[in-house]
Amino acid sequence: MKRTIAYLSLLFILGVLLYIANPNYGLVFGPGGKEWLALRYTDNYYIQHGVQEVGGMNIVTDIVFDYRGYDTIGEATVLFTAIAGAIALLRPWRRDEA
């Protein structure tokens, strides 16, 4: 019973996502020309001003380390946390002293 409801709701979610994946109702794939400027104006800005504002020739690294460098610190922290957590959980068991 529960399982049936779960599969049905998954099916529903899939249907909704397919619906909005249709360019007529939802997301546009591969926008170009006017649509590019309307939907990807931020990307356009990075491409136009990235070299002059940041100085790197690689736009992706310009974004990842300058414009959105704070997110990269966050990602590094995620990695650090994951390692700390994995080491913490894989440590030897505490001896039965008490």
Q: How far is the CB of 90 from another protein (least distance, A)?
A: 8
Q: Choose between 11 and 84: whose C-beta lies nearer to another protein.
A: 84
Q: Structure tokens of 75?
A: 């990602």
Tokens 């529903």 correspond to what residue? 12
CB 36 within 8 A of CB 44: yes
- Type of residue found at 58: N
Q: Residue 39 or 58: which CB sits closer to another protein?
A: 39
Radius of gyration of the chain, Cα coordinates, nearest whole angstrom: 23
Based on the shown chain and the rule CB under 8 A, indicate whether residue 70 belongs to the binding site for another protein: yes
Distance CA 66, CA 97 (A): 52
Separation between Cα atoms, residue 26 and residue 14, nearest integer Å? 14
Question: Does 23 contact another protein by CB under 8 A?
Answer: no
The nearest distance, CB 25 to another protein, in angstroms, is 6
Taking CB under 8 A as the criterion, the residue among 6, 11, 27, 60 binding another protein is: 27
Q: Which residues here bind another protein, judged by CB under 8 A?
A: 16-17, 19-20, 25-28, 38-43, 45-46, 49, 53, 66-71, 73-75, 77-78, 80-82, 84-94, 97-98
